[in-house]
Amino acid sequence: MLVRFGVSLEKELLSKLDGLLRAKGYTNRSEALRDLIRQSLVQEEWSQGKEVVGAITLIYDHHKRELVNKLTDLQHDFGELIVASQHVHIDHTNCLEIIAVKGSPVRITELADRMRAIKGVKHGQLSMGTTGKDIK
Amino acid sequence: MLVRFGVSLEKELLSKLDGLLRAKGYTNRSEALRDLIRQSLVQEEWSQGKEVVGAITLIYDHHKRELVNKLTDLQHDFGELIVASQHVHIDHTNCLEIIAVKGSPVRITELADRMRAIKGVKHGQLSMGTTGKDIK
Amino acid sequence: MLVRFGVSLEKELLSKLDGLLRAKGYTNRSEALRDLIRQSLVQEEWSQGKEVVGAITLIYDHHKRELVNKLTDLQHDFGELIVASQHVHIDHTNCLEIIAVKGSPVRITELADRMRAIKGVKHGQLSMGTTGKDIK
Amino acid sequence: MLVRFGVSLEKELLSKLDGLLRAKGYTNRSEALRDLIRQSLVQEEWSQGKEVVGAITLIYDHHKRELVNKLTDLQHDFGELIVASQHVHIDHTNCLEIIAVKGSPVRITELADRMRAIKGVKHGQLSMGTTGKDIK
């Protein structure tokens, strides 16, 4: 169910906001504000330990001995988190692997830390998203 | 070619570091320091406008009218950036889409902004990685 | 001049928002949304290179030889940025110094980098604020 | 007591690192690595709930009714955290106030949230530092 409420603000602030929204490709002020609201709520889900969704993005050198085995082992140890994964060959040496995960923020962070710590993994980043269940 | 250099630091700082590394799953101090170094270099690649790799993670409600068409249109408009994408059905309503991108930081950021602005996209996050080419 | 506009959103999203606002001490929904808007605008000021305000927070060991001289020299080299500074003795060894700065984001970032690089400075952080001039 | 350990890495990675350090004003590789290490440890202090130091940077319009009283009341309610504060007149309307705090990360974050929520506070940022006690 949609509800509606009013926001009052300085004319100059509104015109600044409109400029920013145009630059970011919004066609609709309400949608932009909903996005700001949702962003705050997603941060809250992570800090409150709710079930969340994330993406672990790794760049690694697949020539490194044992790396692929260790990555696979970890994916089994944390099997309850792994939803899917995607592999891209960036060049002869470098692979990009993006692992979609769902579960508790603490466990997901632990998995990301462990993957980053593997020798040959050059860079690892955890992107913090939401299941969308409680974020309409 | 591997080279070696010495780092001197307070004994207490080293022991704190070792504790942190154990907690994060490192078995090797050098590897941990290399990771800290690489992390700084990847930030630098993004701020210097080098060719980089990223992942755009979207959560959206696929029932929203026009959303899928708009996402597809954008992927064509920014076609030179898109490497691959992966789609996961989180539940009856919510989809997770992770798009692997490669190109200039400015263009990638613009694409992420545009995708986030589409109505029905509840959350969008840009994860900033590297091609690994200059990060050994 | 105050203007007013309407935002429409899902009832459940609004009730989540209200919960978050209570937790953060807001008594007023409009004020919370204005804060989200201003936060986006301040980020934009930094990325667009507008005149901004910041605070550089340093923790250092004042016993380190030459440290205080180097900090003073830097404050003179970047004199056009420095607005004021505040010094707190945390314990026998550690000082907290907070330097209020105003100027271009690039110069401020350079100053913060330089200060952090001084031997004996244990931690340095740049807090990114606004002059408030264009943020009503 | 100073100890020394060796780090081995690819020659190319080292030369990239050296370039970055020059750009940031480091004259010494060890000092740069110590800074990266300390930065990780300070993050850990905040996430582990250790006693930490911070700076809350506020920009506000001092003409707003009740604002100054509310800020003062809050500083008394959270009195055990407040170490010192500094006030700068940016222009006729805007004040910059930087409050140095020491205590538990949770309480400090709560105080920053409350201050940001006051009507007339345009922007508030929490900078996360350390007491330096355990960070040599």
d(CA B130, CA B38): 10
Q: Is residue A4 scored above 90 in pLDDT?
A: yes
Quote the minimal CA–CA distance from D45 to chain B in Å: 11
Query: Where does the pLDDT of residue D92 fall: very low under 50, low under 70, confident under 90, or very high at 90 and above?
Result: very high
Helix (H) or strand (E) holding C31: helix C29-48
CB-CB contact of B54 with B126 (8 Å): yes
pLDDT value at D82 more than 90: yes
pLDDT band at A136 (very low <50, low <70, confident <90, very high): confident
Average pLDDT, chain C: 94
Using a CB-CB cut-off of 8 Å, the residues of chain D touching C32 are 117
Task: With a cut of 70, list the residues of chain B below it in pLDDT.
Answer: none
pLDDT of residue B65: 84
Contact flag D123-C88 (C-beta cutoff 8 Å): no
Strand residue runs (E) in chain B:
2-10, 52-61, 82-89, 94-103, 121-129
**Residues A21-73: pLDDT tens digits?**
999 999 889 999 999 999 999 999 999 999 999 999 999 998 988 999 999 99
**How far B15 CA lies from chain A's nearest CA (Å)?**
18
Q: Do the beta carbons of residue D53 and residue D101 sit within 8 Å?
A: yes
CA distance A5 to chain B (A): 19
Separation of alpha carbons C100 and C121, rounded Å: 17
Q: Report chain D's mean pLDDT, rounded to a whole number.
A: 94
**CA B29/CA A25 separation, integer angstroms:** 45
Model confidence pLDDT, tens digit, residues D110-135: 999 999 999 999 999 999 999 999 99
**Optimal mutation site among D3, D31, D43, D131, interface B, most CBs of chain B within 10 A:** D3
User: How many CA atoms within 13 Å lie on the side-chain side of B80?
Assistant: 6
Q: What pLDDT was estimated at residue C65?
A: 84
**Axis crossing angle, helix A105-116 with helix B11-24, rounded to the nearest 10:** 110
**Residue A105's pLDDT band (cuts 50, 70, 90):** very high
Chains contacting chain A through 3 or more C-beta pairs under 8 A: B, C
DSSP string, C1-39: -EEEEEEEEEHHHHHHHHHHHHHHT-S-HHHHHHHHHHH
A133 pLDDT tier (thresholds 50, 70, 90): very high
Task: Give the model's pLDDT for residue D136.
Answer: 87
Report pLDDT for C97: 96
Chain B residues contacting D via beta carbons under 8 Å: 1-14, 16-17, 20, 29-30, 33-34, 36-38, 40-41, 44, 134-136
D108-118 residues labelled b (16+ CB within 10 A) or e (exposed): bbbbbebbbbb
| Interface residue of C1, C8, C134 to substitute, partner A, most A CBs within 10 Å | C8
Contacts of D113 in chain C (CB under 8 A): 24-25
A contacts of C41 (beta carbons < 8 Å): 13, 16-17, 20
A65 min Cα distance to partner chain C (Å): 36
pLDDT tens digits, residue range C76-111? 999 999 999 999 999 999 999 999 999 999 999 999
Cβ neighbour number for residue A54 with a 10 Å cutoff: 27
Dihedral in degrees, nearest 10, Cα atoms C58, C60, C64, C69: 30
pLDDT of residue B136: 87
C-alpha to C-alpha distance for D58 and D60, rounded to whole angstroms: 6
Taking residues C37-48, report their average pLDDT.
Answer: 95
pTM value surpassing 0.80 = yes
Tokens of C15: 């009730």
CA-to-CA distance for A55 and C10, rounded, in angstroms?
27
Sheet of D121-130, strand order: D82-89, D94-103, D52-61, D121-130
Contact between B88 and A83 using a beta-carbon 8 Å cutoff: yes
Residues forming a β-bridge with A114: none
Amino acid identity at D126:
L
Q: Residue D28 pLDDT > 90, yes or no? A: no
Round to whole Å and give the CA distance between D114 and A67. Answer: 47
What was the pLDDT predicted at C44?
A: 95
Instruction: Quote the tokens at residue C101.
Output: 């700065």
Q: Are A94 and A60 in contact (CB under 8 A)?
A: yes
**Domains of chain C and any CATH numbers:** 11-48 (1.10.1220.10), 52-130 (3.30.70.1150)
